[in-house]
Structure 1
Amino acid sequence: MKSVKVVVVGAGVVGFSTAVCIAEAFPCCFVTLLAEKFSPDTTSDGAAGILFAAEFPDIPLVRQRRWFKDSFDHLLAIAQSQYSPEAGVMLSSGWQIFKKIPDDWKPFWSEFVIGFRLMTDRELKRFPDHKFGQAFTTIKCECLSYLPWLQKRFRKAGGQVQQRKVNSLQELSDSYDIIVNCSGLGSKGLVGDTEVYPVRGQVLKVEAPWLQHFIRDGDGKTYIYPGMHSVTVGGTRQEGDWRLQGDEEDTKGILARCSRLEPSLSKAKVLSEWVGLRPCRRNPRVEWELVQLQGRRVPVIHNYGHGGWGVTLAWGTALDTVGLVRQCLQEMPLQAKL
């Protein structure tokens, strides 16, 4: 009999990755995922979902490396399996280009992607404004397919899913033994985290089946990512901007910038426009605490604040969360006596 009740709040890529990992790791737990919005209406659904990372300032690099490697290995196994088209996970090769040589010209994640090398002068010639570049093969994970696939996997592991808005942790304290908070930007209200803030991203999906390689400007604002059914072009990074409507000037700017890098895009048909708010924080929060709720101390595990790197780090931070759940389970008999 499943004796420990665990609830995961949030149905984005971090929430579902975490729910799957917990449900599969602990048959003794009855895991429920609660969220107000599900695919295709989560922030994750619009993500380009290409795997490489930024470095967070206050998290040990060994931990960041583990997050990236665990996520990459997990998605690589899917990309090389029969589930690749259903899960929306594929290998993707291309270039990241810079106007000047970056300080971190060989980033920590370079050893985990496939075939990382510096671009040749011949390759760089097509980008006359850029002086330096990296070529590698990574993974593209399209959440419009991946989230429903994860949900099926979660249900297969015995998990339950409920659509419900959670306004406070107090609502959950009577029904669950462990609360796992993967609410992203919602953590601002749910747990009063003033450090989490939105960074508005706008992207377009275009029809350009002739494009086979991704191109990303090292400034992080201009990118072209071919996918299974369309090409994602972007984007914007507007801090503190809560607007969810598309902006016509942003659309024009995205098309102009991307067409400078890849002139053939001027012939591409725009299929759709999408806006999302990245749940940014100086560092992701992956930790647990005991919170006094309705007269008892309840373990609350946090896994949020990944910013634009949710798809990149979700599986790695989910596995870290499994370790935190294990700690809670070991200490729960003690908590019951407090």
Structure 2
Amino acid sequence: MKSVRVVIVGAGVIGFSTAVCISEALPFCSVTLMADKFSPDTTSDGAAGILFLHHIMQYDKVNILHGKICNDSFDHLLAIAQSQCQLILVPAVETPFWSEFVIGFRPMTDVELKRFPDHKFGQAFTTLKCECSTYLPWLEKRFRKAGGQVEQRKVNSLQELSNSFDIIVNCSGLGSKILVGDTQVYPVRGQVLKVEAPWVQHFIRDGDGKTYIYPGIRSVTIGGTRQEGDWRLQVDGGDTKGILERCSRLEPSLNKAKILSEWVGLRPSRKNPRVEREVVQLQGRPVPVVHNYGHGGWGVTLAWGTALDTLGLVKQSLHEMASQAKL
């Protein structure tokens, strides 16, 4: 009989990655994943899913700089994600800190740059693209195989979980603003288009991160927007026009592409991801709560690495619970 009851709140790429790590590593725990929305209705489903880190986050800065967190995700996905070449156009010639996380990083040649007359410098490398519309169902299947249980339910407060579970893992993303009262988490609105352009074979991304072209299995994702503090979930016609114009300047053939869909999502952003443990008094008893949220637009890139860190915090909670039980 499984003695420790663990609940994960949130069914995006962070939630399911964490659920898989915990259920596989701790088979003596009863693990439940709980959320009001599942794939294909999560924010993760609309993400381009490119493994890439634009800037250094303060969270575990040493391990990010030395590749641990990014490489954990890269190694995990390498066997199941398609690898393609990406071109990134940047305004400076400095070698970025993330160059060691990707494959074959190099400056673009003069011949390659002729395709982009508005840019004087660029970089080329190979990275991974993970489409969450197929990855999340795969993670759910793996989670269930490890004995995990899934429940579709909106969680309004931690209090309502305290009688049924011994450890709470909060992967609720933007929902943490209300669920745990975190005033530091905020939305960054992203709008993208899915277009039919099978002739586009390589990723192209402008250095500012606001204009990008990511070919996928069934369509090409083009974008985008980074509108901080914007809660709108409606498609904006002006943004659609701007995306088409900017992406067509990078790849003129996109003028011929058929628009398949338009999508808007709110990235669960924070100055730094919150991956930490605390003990909260719920219904008159102390309950360990482990947080793993606030990854912004880097959820796929950091998911497996921070899930492993979260697993470590859950193990720490179990150790303390066992020590207290002996007293």
Query: By the TM > 0.5 criterion, same fold?
Result: yes
Taking the TM superposition and a 5 Å limit, the aligned residue runs for 1:176-255 are 176-255=165-244
- How far has the Cα of 1:337 moved from its partner? 7.4
SS of the residue aligned with 1:273? Answer: strand
1:66 to partner: Cα distance: 1.5
Which residue number in structure 2 is paired with residue 54 of structure 1? Answer: 54
2:84 to 69, 72, 92: 92
Cα displacement (A) at 1:114: 1.0
- 2-structure distance, mates of 1:60, 1:322: 15
User: d(CA) in 1 for partners of 2:243 and 2:258?
Assistant: 14
Q: Indicate if the aligned counterparts of 1:8 and 1:181 stay in contact, CA closer than 8 A.
A: yes
What is the TM-score when the length of structure 1 is the normalising length?
Answer: 0.94
Which amino acid is the alignment partner of residue 171 of structure 2? C
What is the match of residue 84 of structure 1? none
Runs of 4 or more consecutive aligned structure 1 residues displaced over 6 Å after TM superposition: none
Q: CA deviation at 1:211?
A: 0.6
Q: Give the corresponding residue for 1:76.
A: 78
* Aligned equivalents of 1:5, 1:312: Cα separation in 2: 29
Deviation at 1:14, TM superposition (A): 0.2
Q: Which residue of 1 aligns with 2:40?
A: 40
Three-state SS of the structure 1 residue aligned to 2:74 is: helix
Deviations 1:62-101 (A, max 9, x none): 22232111000000022xxxxxxxxxx2112120102x20
Aligned to 1:318: 307
Counterpart among 158, 161, 170 of residue 169 in structure 1: 158
Give 1:113 shift.
Answer: 1.2
Q: CA offset at residue 335 of structure 1?
A: 4.3
State which drifts further: 184-193 or 122-131: 122-131
> Which letter maps to 2:108?
M
Distance in 1 (CA, whole Å) between partners of 2:309 and 2:5 is: 19
C-alpha displacement of 1:57: 4.3
- The runs of 5 or more residues in structure 2 that have no matched partner are none
Q: Judge conservation of contact 1:198–1:277 (CA < 8 Å) in 2.
A: yes
| Alpha-carbon shift at residue 221 of structure 1 (Å) | 0.5
Q: Does 1:101 align with 2:84?
A: no
Counterparts of 1:243 and 1:227 in 2: how far apart (Å)?
26
219-228 vs 120-129, greater mean Cα deviation: 120-129
Matches within 5 A, 1:8-157: 8-64=8-64, 65-78=67-80, 89-98=81-90, 100-101=91-92, 105-157=94-146
Aligned residues: 325
Report the Cα distance in structure 2 between the residues aligned to 1:163 and 1:276, rounded to whole angstroms: 20
Q: In the TM superposition, what is the alpha-carbon distance from 1:107 to its structure 2 partner? A: 2.5
Alpha-carbon distance between aligned partners in 2 of 1:61 and 1:173, rounded to the nearest angstrom: 33
Q: What root-mean-square deviation, in Å, do the aligned CA atoms of Structure 1 and Structure 2 show?
A: 1.2
Change (3 A) 1:337 1:167: farther
Residues 56 and 283 of structure 1 are in contact (CA less than 8 Å); yes or no, is this contact kept in structure 2? no
User: Quick check: 1:14–1:182 contact (8 Å CA) kept in 2?
Assistant: yes
Q: Write out per-residue CA displacement over residues 35-76 of structure 1, whole angstroms, 9 at most, x where no aligned residue.
A: 000001000000000011033442343222321110000000
Pick the aligned partner of 1:265 from 254, 262, 270. Answer: 254
Tell me how far apart the structure 1 counterparts of residues 53 and 179 of structure 2 sit (CA, whole Å): 27
Q: Which sections of structure 1, spanning at least 5 residues, go unmatched?
A: 79-88
CA distance in 1 between partners of 2:297 and 2:265 (Å):
10
Alpha-carbon distance in structure 1 between the residues aligned to 2:38 and 2:244: 29
SS at match of 1:137: strand
Provide the C-alpha distance between the structure 2 equivalents of 1:337 and 1:293, rounded to a whole number of angstroms. 22
Mapped partners of 1:120, 1:188: distance in 2:
46
CA displacement at 1:217 relative to structure 2: 0.3
Query: SS state of the match for residue 89, structure 2?
Result: strand
Distance 1:335 1:273, change over 3 A: farther
Letter in structure 1 aligned against 2:272: N
Give the Å deviation of 1:111: 1.2
SS across alignment from 2:124 = strand
How far apart are the structure 2 equivalents of 1:6 and 1:200?
32
Mapped to 1, the partners of 2:269 and 2:176 lie a distance apart of 11
Q: Post-superposition shift, 1:129?
A: 1.4
Closer, same or farther: CA 244–130 of 1 in aligned 2, 3 Å:
same
| Residue identity matched to 2:75 | D
Displacement of 1:195 = 0.3
Q: CA deviation at 1:127?
A: 1.0
1:112, distance to aligned residue in structure 2 (A): 2.3
CA distance in 1, matches of 2:238, 2:326: 60
Kept in 2, the 8 Å contact 1:8–1:19? The answer is yes
Q: 2:272 aligns with which of 278, 283, 293?
A: 283
Per-residue displacement from partner, 1:297-330 (whole Å, max 9, x unpaired)? 1100000000000011101100111111111111
